[in-house]
Amino acid sequence: MGVFTDYLIAGGWALTGAVSMAVSLALLLRVFSWITPIDEWEEIRKGNLSVGLVVGAVIISFAIVIAAALSPVLK
């Protein structure tokens, strides 16, 4: 295999990872909106900073869990 083929394979895996991460993040936010009693997106549109911080914390927490799951793979 040539270097160009290796780059294409790596690019394909990067695209697969990005798409699967976007889908799982969208699913996470849907489930989070479903289990909470308020409409987070409406509150964010109104300018409620605290709800925005909570949603941001959920996204960062998700990223930390994914990073911990990938940590043994990347070593």
Fill in the DSSP letter of residue 47. Answer: T
pLDDT digits (tens, 9 = 90+) for 36-63: 999 999 999 999 999 999 999 999 999 9
* Residue tagged 């308020």 (tokens): 38
- Boundaries of domain holding 62: 3-74
pTM of the model: 0.74
**Number of domains observed in the structure of the chain:** 1
List, as one string, the DSSP characters of the chain: --HHHHHHHHHHHHHHHHHHHHHHHHHHHHHHHHHSSS-HHHHHHHT-HHHHHHHHHHHHHHHHHHHHHHHHHH-
- Band of the pLDDT at 35, cuts 50, 70, 90? very high
